[in-house]
Amino acid sequence: MERILYDKSNRLKGLKKRSFYIQFYFYVKNNFYETESNLRYLRFSRLLLYPNL
């Protein structure tokens, strides 16, 4: 039983990480020509949203 719960939480973590990377990819793709301050903001917001990554 514990193992099932552990696997489930690991899968959730993986999904969260994957969705972050997908969002990051589209952000970079859409704002490729933007200034560096946007990247700084993105790094900051990433710390707020996903402190455990």
Q: What is the pLDDT of residues 23-40, one digit of tens each?
A: 888 877 776 656 666 667
- For 5, 14, 25, 30, the CA distances from 19, given in Å and listed in that order, are 21, 9, 10, 16
pLDDT bracket for residue 51 (50, 70, 90): low
Displacement of CA 51 from its chain's centroid (Å): 10
Indicate whether this model's pTM tops 0.85: no
**What are the φ and ψ backbone dihedral angles of 19, each rounded to 5 degrees?**
-65, -35
User: How many structural domains does the chain have?
Assistant: 1
Domain containing 30 equals 2-49
